Structure 1
Amino acid sequence: MESTLDEVIKIIREKFGPYRKPIDGNSLIEDDLHICGDDGTDLLEACEQAFTISFNTEVKSLRERFSLAENEYLFTGEGLDPFGIGLFINWLRGIPRPIIRDLTVDELHRVIIETVREQTKQD
């Protein structure tokens, strides 16, 4: 499969169903498309399978590929913390609040292209 933006959008639609609003390169994966937590992981796995790549390898980690800082994550968790007890406990322990860096579809596509190129050279 060719790693075009249209193919990435096709994977999103096939995996998560049709969307009421159009999906383009500027669509935010979490805020606009509401893909978070395990669904976000499923999206990354679907892209790995479709483009025959791996985002996390011995050469480069997923964090490096997406340029994530130590406390940055691609997706929010799906856990339930209605009263913020978990956040409060983390605050007491000095653990900073996680920063979610919402990817655009175009950023995901860019990382896929780089990963395909890198892993094609190794073969």
Structure 2
Amino acid sequence: MLRTAHEVADPERLLAQRLHPVLDEHDHLVGVVTRAQLLHAAPSDPTPLVQLAAPAVTAHPDETLRTLANRMAQHGVTRLLTVGRDLQPTVEGIVSLRDLLQARLIDLHEEHHAERILTLRARRTAAATPG
């Protein structure tokens, strides 16, 4: 996470991540900057990151995967910042499209496993019933 006082010319560690939340001095979310914005900035640029920050597209921990996927599609983004529901949100994490797909894969596996067990039980019950 970056502070509003950080400058574009801060160390290369900024380039290791695609999306950076920008926080104020109280750890409240101000916006986001992307790796692309940082790559296009001049190395000696003293511009405070708060001036580059765009509004963040956010998610809440209690929202469904479907809701998050829809929000990503509506806003054309592949990452959402997870924030609390308080008036001055603090960042709790980042959810990526890859995270959503992995979670959906787990759901599909569990659904398939549950269907398989139910099918076997139904066949056994039918075979045990005299006829």
Q: TM-score range by the shorter chain?
A: under 0.3
* Higher relative contact order (CA closer than 8 Å, sequence separation 6+): 1
Bigger radius of gyration among the two: 2
